[in-house]
Amino acid sequence: MSENPAAVAQSVESAPQGQEGRGGWLRRLYHWVIGWADRPGGPAALTVIAFAESSFFPIPPDVLLIPLALGRPTRALWFATLCTIGSVLGAMLGYLIGAALYQSIAVPILDFYGLTSQYATIGRMYQENLLLSLGTAGFTPIPFKVFTIAAGGFGISFPAFVAVSALSRGARFFLVGGLITLFGERIRGFIERYFNILTILFVIALVGGFLAMALLFPSH
């Protein structure tokens, strides 16, 4: 499933209503997530959903982050903080699943979402450039849960994984929260329509920063 919240909404809404298969339960789950935007426990639900999405849950937390932040723009950055904390803690769980529970839990999760080929792809990405792969993990169309499980499965350094995951996921959520803080409801359509473009531009800037760091502080 794409990480783009607008794409998630479109795919869910296009699923046949009343269908008891994948489309049916995904539709119900999506509306359950959205429903928390109007409840007192919305911020807590956002944290829990961000946690779960990093290892097994199908709906990205942006789906709830955006309406919560729009409802209270002055709290948008706080919601982004909760989202980041939940996502990083969930990433640790995903790492554990990949490292210690691969056959019993990781394989069923990957098979359920049809993400086995992406798992192998990310393994190659980690081998080619660990820092770049982790740094852009929070922005790619590949669900973040695959990155977290693969990090554990391929034995990536845990401290490096946690640090760069916090940077990557935090940047993603604070990008959304910051735009809403500055522009409020006016920016909603822009974020939903151009979310992928925004994240691509941010990844370009992020990669540029990594390259600059490599040039300024060479390892040899």
Domain ranges of the chain: 5-216
Q: What is the spatial distance between Cα 67 and Cα 73, in angstroms, rounded to a whole number?
A: 10
| Phi-psi group of 142: left, alpha or beta (phi > 0 → left; psi -120 to 50 → alpha; rest → beta) | beta
Q: What is the spatial distance between Cα 193 and Cα 188, in angstroms, rounded to a whole number?
A: 9
One-letter amino acid at 153 equals G
Closest C-alpha to 100, from 141, 139, 155, 48: 155
**pTM, full prediction:** 0.79
> How confident is the model over 157-216, as pLDDT tens digits?
999 899 888 988 998 899 889 888 888 777 666 666 666 666 556 555 555 555 555 555
